[in-house]
Amino acid sequence: MSNEYDNTELLTSFAKVGQVVPEFTMESFDPTEGGFCEVDLGELRKQGKSVILFFYPADFTFVCPTELADLATKHAELIELGAEVISVSTDTKFTHLAWKNDERLLADVKFKMASDSTGEVSRYFDVWDDATGLALRGTFVINPDGLLVSSEVNFYNVGRNADELVRKVEANSYLKDHPEEACPAKWTPGEKTLTPSEKLVGNVYEALND
C-alpha cells in the first residue's frame, strides 16, 4: 500500500460484520488494461459499488489459481449486480502480472489483482497468518454504503465456491432495498423472503409454504 495514504484506522482496528470499513487504497495489476493501477475504496464507494475482496495466500501456488479461475466465471454476473471484484494477496503487483501471464488457469481473469505486500489490509480483515506472512482464504463483501455485510475465512487447503458468493451478493443487494426482510437458507432472487415479527415466531414453515 502506498505510504502517502494515512492508514491509521486500518492499523488500529479490525473489520467487523455490520460496521463500516474505512477507505483505503492498494496498488494493483489490472489484467483488462494490462498495466498497474490503484484500487481506491473511497472512489468505489462514491460510484455506489459493492466491493468484493477475495484474499488468497500466494501467487504461483496450487489451490489459488483454481479459485481465481472459478471467480472469473462469475465476474460478469457480479458486475451486473454492481460489484467490483478485487483479488488480494501479499504478493507484489509485479508478481501478479507474471503469474497472470504464466498460469493458463488465469486466462479469463479480468478483475483487478491487488497487492497487500505490507499485510496491513490482511491484518485489518484478520486473515493475516503470522506464521507464514500470508493471507488466509478470506472473502469479504462490502455494500455501497461501506458496510461489511459478509465475511468468510477458509484455511489454506479448502477452496471456495463462487456460486455461493454470487448468491450472497444477490441477497445483500436485495436486502439493501428491503431492510425489513430477511433471506432464508439457499435463497435466490424471486423466492420468498421472511419478514420478522411476533407473528412469524414458530411459524416459519407456514410463511415459506403458504
What pTM was computed for the model? 0.93
Q: Residue range 184-196: average pLDDT? A: 97
Q: What is the pLDDT of residues 164-180, one digit of tens each?
A: 999 999 999 999 999 99
In this structure, what C-alpha cell is assigned to residue 100?
497472470
Domains and CATH numbers, the chain: 8-177 (3.40.30.10), 179-210 (no CATH)
Q: What is the pLDDT of residues 77-92, one digit of tens each?
A: 999 999 999 999 999 9
Which position among 1, 39, 41, 64 bears the catalytic label?
A: 64
Instruction: Give the angle 160-164-42 at the CA atoms, nearest 5°.
Output: 85
Q: What is the pLDDT of residues 107-127, one digit of tens each?
A: 999 999 999 999 999 999 999
Q: Which pLDDT belongs to residue 11?
A: 65
Hey, which bits of the chain come out as E strands? Answer: 25-30, 35-40, 50-55, 83-89, 112-115, 128-129, 134-135, 137-142, 148-154
d(CA 116, CA 136): 13
Q: At what angle do helices 63-73 and 162-177 cross, to 10 degrees?
A: 50
Burial (CB count <10 Å: 0-12, 13-18, 19+), residue 151: middle
* Residue located via cell numbers 415479527: 197
* β partners of residue 83: 50
Amino acid sitting at position 45: R
Q: What is the pLDDT of residues 138-153, one digit of tens each?
A: 999 999 999 999 999 9
Q: Which pLDDT belongs to residue 107?
A: 98
Q: Which pLDDT belongs to residue 1?
A: 38
d(CA 90, CA 115): 6
CB within 8 Å of 184: residues ≥ 6 apart: 192, 193, 194, 204, 208
Rg of the chain, C-alpha, whole Å: 18
pLDDT category at 2 given cuts 50, 70, 90 is very low
Active site residue 64: yes
